[in-house]
């Protein structure tokens, strides 16, 4: 757990401070709102990562998908002939 929290030591947050912060968040938002808050945070992180992908990454992905579709189409055509 110390490896995971090692990066936070740079800004002066230790395990005790993190527990206190999490407790305060729990008190502010309550048990019913935490899952919604976590889900929204996760979706935001996902959108951010997707937005940070370079256009080259997307082009490579599109090319791979196109080649897979062509291969599947060619396979279907050969099965129909045989």
The tens digit of pLDDT for each residue in 13-25 reads: 788 888 898 889 8
Q: What is the pLDDT of residue 43?
A: 92
Is 32 a residue whose pLDDT tops 60?
Answer: yes
What whole-number distance in Å separates Cα of residue 34 and Cα of residue 25? 9
Give dist(CA 28, CA 19) in Å, integer: 14
Dist. CA 9–CA 45, nearest whole Å? 23
How does DSSP assign the chain, residue by residue? -HHHHGGGGGGT--HHHHHHHHHHHHHHHHHHHHHHHHHHHHHHHHHHHHHHS-HHHHHHHHHHHHHHHHHHHHHHHHHHH-
């Amino acid at each position: 757990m110390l490896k995971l929290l090692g990066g936070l030591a740079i800004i002066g947050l230790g395990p005790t401070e993190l527990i206190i912060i999490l407790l305060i968040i729990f008190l502010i938002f309550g048990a019913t709102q935490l899952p919604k808050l976590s889900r929204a945070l996760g979706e935001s992180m996902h959108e951010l990562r997707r937005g940070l992908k370079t256009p080259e990454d997307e082009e490579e992905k599109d090319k791979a998908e196109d080649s897979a579709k062509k291969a599947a189409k060619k396979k279907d055509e050969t099965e129909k002939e045989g």
